[in-house]
Amino acid sequence: MPTPFRHRLVGAIVRKQLFVTLYAYFVYAHFILNVIVVVICLLMLAHDEKTDVVKLCQNAIQDPQAKAQCTGLLNITEDIFISVAAFVLFIELCKSIIRSLILLDIDSNRLRHNCHTLCEPTPI
């Protein structure tokens, strides 16, 4: 049974090594950019949060128990940011690994195909 044209077209586009390679490098660059952004945001959050928490909670609130609750609540933001950033980076890392495996599979299929066409003797 012949495959419809759109399935053959999608397969041809997906199997084009140039497209897959470009997309894989784009995913790698996006992952590295995400790591840089997370590190910068974490440094800024950790540095600015400590001074802002002290100013906000110590100067604005007079009750000692409320000061402790305020400080504890605002310190949670760093933990939340770290957990969300770790989850996003994990997803990006998984996508990069999957793209690498697809690229390696296409390379190995291409090499295998080239070897079969070059190594088989031609009939006389």
Band of the pLDDT at 120, cuts 50, 70, 90?
low
36 burial (CB, 10 Å; 0-12 / 13-18 / 19+) is exposed
If one counts the domains in the chain, the total is: 1
Would residue 115 count as lying in a domain? Answer: no
Contact 45, 78 (CB under 8 A): yes
Q: Please check whether residue 122 lies inside any domain of the structure.
A: no
Residue 82 included in any domain: yes
Read off the pLDDT of residues 20-39 as tens digits, 9 standing for 90 and up: 778 888 888 988 999 999 89
Q: What residue type is 17 in one-letter code? A: Q
For residues 80-86, average pLDDT:
89
In a domain, 120, yes or no: no
Residue 48 and residue 29: Cα distance in Å, rounded? 28
For residue 5, tell me if it sits in a domain: no
Which of 4-8, 45-49, 69-73, 89-93 has the highest average model confidence (pLDDT)?
Answer: 89-93
- Model pLDDT, residue 25: 84
What's the pLDDT score for residue 35? 92
> Which residue range(s) make up the domain with 37?
13-107
d(CA 103, CA 91): 18
Tally the residues of the chain. Answer: 124
Within a domain: residue 116?
A: no
